[in-house]
């Protein structure tokens, strides 16, 4: 049986079980597990934050990780496609960095198996940060005495500045980007006043219509389902106007990476945490509002035409997934002793 058939079957089974699953709400953990070879330390997180905010590791000096994965916002840029160096557009909408630590795989097609692996990608992507190579990045970092000190603090005296260490530091920082204690979390933990009546109705409806089939678990990204990441076919139901209107079949999803037909239109299930902050929606950012996205999901994934009041209730519920953002101190980036990398 092909993997995606398994998943479709699983989804169908889930649909039958939603009432049972409905009680299975999980609050978001306040910390995320780190891989054994990259434990998070304060020094590593600090270095990672510096790198995350440094536009000088892009060819033009204009794009940092934060440009597209903006932590001041919902962890992305509220654009259909991000603008990289020279305002070049990517082909998919930037996923949020908030709570990305709870995703087993990264990128819409899950092509990176860890935050460490993901962190290396955009820096040398010609339409994102545009560096020629990580060697070039490392050469730049080596010219800034402040980075030498920060790498030593994070990785010990014998360590030098390397791509692997930079990626580890960025990943360690990203693992601190968690937004617990949303109204939903407070409700799940026992405070029954934390949600409005609308939101409770929306929560029940969310379970009842089948959204939890994929959007399960603490991060609403189904990641508890399989340790190697959870993919879903999108769109499943194609005999509706949304599919062509929003060009859902133009991408191909995981197929772009694997070239396996079984991966056609398979995507990592995105988290719904802070979803009210991350418009526009879907892998191609084609849907401008959350209410429209809810309608679309009902139709193309569950074959259900949700009424306006149902959409309103689910929207109200999803608003309750806006978490508490941790207080963060701004980084001050190392100087270059009166020089610049920009030609």
59 binds a copy of itself (CB under 8 A): no
As annotated, the active-site residues are 128
Which residues does residue 232 pair with via DSSP β-bridges, in sequence order? 267
Contacts with a copy of itself in 188-247 (CB under 8 A)?
A: none
Among 29, 41, 79, 111, the residue binding a copy of itself under the rule CB under 8 A is: 79
Among 3, 86, 91, 145, the residue binding a copy of itself under the rule CB under 8 A is: 86
Distance CA 48, CA 223 (A): 25
Nearer to a copy of itself, 13 or 139 (CB): 139
Instruction: Give the shortest CB-3-to-a copy of itself separation in angstroms.
Output: 32
Distance CA 112, CA 323 (A): 26
Please, what is the Cα angle at 142 between 138 and 148, to 5 degrees? 115
- The dihedral region occupied by 334, where left means phi > 0, alpha psi between -120 and 50, and beta the remainder, is beta
Contacts with a copy of itself in 263-292 (CB under 8 A)?
A: 275-277, 279-280, 288-291
Of 335, 343, 326, 323, which is closest to residue 272 (Cα–Cα)? 323
Distance CA 167, CA 163 (A): 6
Nearer to a copy of itself, 151 or 281 (CB): 281
Nearer to a copy of itself, 245 or 260 (CB): 245
315 binds a copy of itself (CB under 8 A): yes
Distance CA 273, CA 100 (A): 10
249 binds a copy of itself (CB under 8 A): no
- The dihedral region occupied by 94, where left means phi > 0, alpha psi between -120 and 50, and beta the remainder, is beta
Three-state DSSP class for residue 119: helix
Nearer to a copy of itself, 105 or 287 (CB): 287
Contact residues: a copy of itself, CB under 8 A: 53-56, 60-62, 67, 70-74, 77-80, 83, 85-87, 275-277, 279-280, 288-291, 293, 315, 318-319, 322, 325, 327-333, 335-342
């Amino acid at each position: 049986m092909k993997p995606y058939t398994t998943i479709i079957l699983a989804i169908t089974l889930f649909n039958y079980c939603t009432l049972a699953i409905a009680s299975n709400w999980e609050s978001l953990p306040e910390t995320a597990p780190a891989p054994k070879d990259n434990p998070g330390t304060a020094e590593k997180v600090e270095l990672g934050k510096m790198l995350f905010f440094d536009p000088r590791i892009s060819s033009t000096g204009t794009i940092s990780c934060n440009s597209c994965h903006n932590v001041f916002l919902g962890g992305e840029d509220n654009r259909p496609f991000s603008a990289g160096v020279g305002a070049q557009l990517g082909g998919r909408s930037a996923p949020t960095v908030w709570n990305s630590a709870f995703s087993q795989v990264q990128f819409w097609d899950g092509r990176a198996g860890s935050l460490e692996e993901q962190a290396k990608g955009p820096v040398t992507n010609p339409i994102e940060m545009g560096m020629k190579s990580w060697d070039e990045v490392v050469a730049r970092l080596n010219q800034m005495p402040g980075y030498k000190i920060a790498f030593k603090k994070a990785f010990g005296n014998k360590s030098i500045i390397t791509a692997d260490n930079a990626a580890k530091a960025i990943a360690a920082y990203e693992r601190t980007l968690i937004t617990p204690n949303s109204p939903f979390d407070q409700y799940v933990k026992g405070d029954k006043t934390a949600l409005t009546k609308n939101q409770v109705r929306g929560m029940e409806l969310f379970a009842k219509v089948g959204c939890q089939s994929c959007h399960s678990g603490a991060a609403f990204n189904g990641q508890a389902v399989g340790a190697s990441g959870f993919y879903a076919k999108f769109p499943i139901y194609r005999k509706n106007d949304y599919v062509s209107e929003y060009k859902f079949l133009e991408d191909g999803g995981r197929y772009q990476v694997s070239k396996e037909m079984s991966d056609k239109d398979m995507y990592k299930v995105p988290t719904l945490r802070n979803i009210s902050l991350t418009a526009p929606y879907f892998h191609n950012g084609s849907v401008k509002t959350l209410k429209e996205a809810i309608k679309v999901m009902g139709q193309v994934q569950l074959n259900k035409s949700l009424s306006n009041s149902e959409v309103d209730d689910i929207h109200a519920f999803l608003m309750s997934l806006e978490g508490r953002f941790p207080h963060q101190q701004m980084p001050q980036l190392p100087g270059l002793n009166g020089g610049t990398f920009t030609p």
